[in-house]
Structure 1
Amino acid sequence: MAAIYHFLTALLLYGYLIPISLYVSIEIVKVLQSIFINQDIHMYYEETDKPAHARTSNLNEELGQVDTILSDKTGTLTCNSMEFIKFSVAGTAYGYGVTEVEKAMAKRNGSPLIVNGKDYGVADPAHDAKKSSIKGFNFDDDRIMDGNWVNEPHSDVIQNFFRLLAVCHTAIPDLDEETGKVTYEAESPDEAAFVIAAKELGFEFFNRTQSSVSVNELDPCVMQKS
């Protein structure tokens, strides 16, 4: 009986041990699975024009086990999409953009949605094409766009505001060497919308190191001369 008890105890204690060769084989399989994930055309995300990119091979075996996701976070149940529409600097509000919710409500009520003389209830192919190409940026104000903010009374404050949008964040820039286009990977869509807005308004964040942040900034003097 003692021998039987010792055998069962040893079976329980040593049941978790695996050969080192098996561990190496499992890691090789995970790396191969991550390569297959990167090459899977069905995991392509058309909205952001990005394919799947496996940054780690530690979660491969857990992906196939996910069947149901239960969460009380609002972003999980919605698109979790943030857009830069308006901002206020030195007591002045800028931005006439409207959200998709406002457009849907106006369409449902049958009333035109007119802001600053523009009818946002009418489909504008040029505006829709521009918006679809710039995710997270839905800002519309002639006082700010195309460098016109340099003519505002508090242009220095507006410049510092744009600098903060381009610098104060944890986003990581991703530079496409072929096209020269910079995309951003942020922890939250809020940060991504801020950085994209700063880029579209002339303050492009393009590089980050452990001790510095690099930004291509619009020169107000050149814009005033032009």
Structure 2
Amino acid sequence: MYYQEKDTPAKARTTTLNEQLGQIERSTTAEGVTLNRGKPVDFSWNKHADSKFEYLDHSLVDCIRSKKDQDALEFFKLLSLCHTVMVEQKEDELVYQAASPDEGALVTAARNFGFVFLSRTQDTITSARWTRK
């Protein structure tokens, strides 16, 4: 986080910052673009999406689906590959088992954005980029 007007980066001065970050709500981006937060994103374009995952920022989904921001695409690809999560297939549904809730949430987020972790062996990790429109 950064406050451009005073050229000042944010400093963490508490150990409970993670709990407090969940309480932050912004209706616009730093550039003043209004975020569409009226209703959750429709992930029906992604057959691997977790139906329990609810996300409200349509602009990030649009950014990923447009494939114009290579840094964002690389970020989600890395989220889908760099972890210790295990996966099971149960009744046409991917079920992730993670060592921590945070790790599971990050891999699930990548999955919903189209970067799907599918399997792991001792030597390989398999993921897929789901791009159907």
2:127 matches 1:215: yes
Say which structure is richer in helix: 1
Given that 1:208 and 1:214 are in contact with CA atoms closer than 8 Å, whether structure 2 keeps it comes out as yes
1:184 aligns with 2:100: no
Map of 1:151 onto structure 2: 66
**What is the root-mean-square deviation of aligned Cα atoms in Å?**
3.4
**Alpha-carbon shift at residue 144 of structure 1 (Å):** 2.7
Where 2:56 maps in the other structure, the secondary structure is: coil
Deviations 1:61-87 (A, max 9, x none): xxxxxxxxxxxxx9xxxxxxx9xxxxx
CA contact (8 A) 2:37 2:57 kept: no
- Alignment of 1:139 onto 2:55: yes
Over 3 Å counting, the alpha-carbon distance change for 1:196 and 1:148 in structure 2 is: same
> Aligned-pair distance for 1:140?
2.5
Flag structure 1 segments of 5+ consecutive residues without an equivalent: 1-73, 75-81, 83-97, 103-112
Q: Following TM superposition, by how much is the alpha carbon of 1:215 offset from its aligned partner in structure 2, in angstroms?
A: 0.6
Q: Which 4+ runs in 1 deviate beyond 6 A?
A: none
Question: Normalising by structure 2, what TM-score?
Answer: 0.59
Distance in 1 between residues matched to 2:75 and 2:106, nearest whole Å: 11
Partner residue, 1:168: 82
SS at match of 1:160: helix
For this pair of structures, how many residues does the alignment match? 101
Identify if the C-alpha distance between structure 1 residues 213 and 157 changes in structure 2 by more than 3 Å, giving closer, same or farther.
same
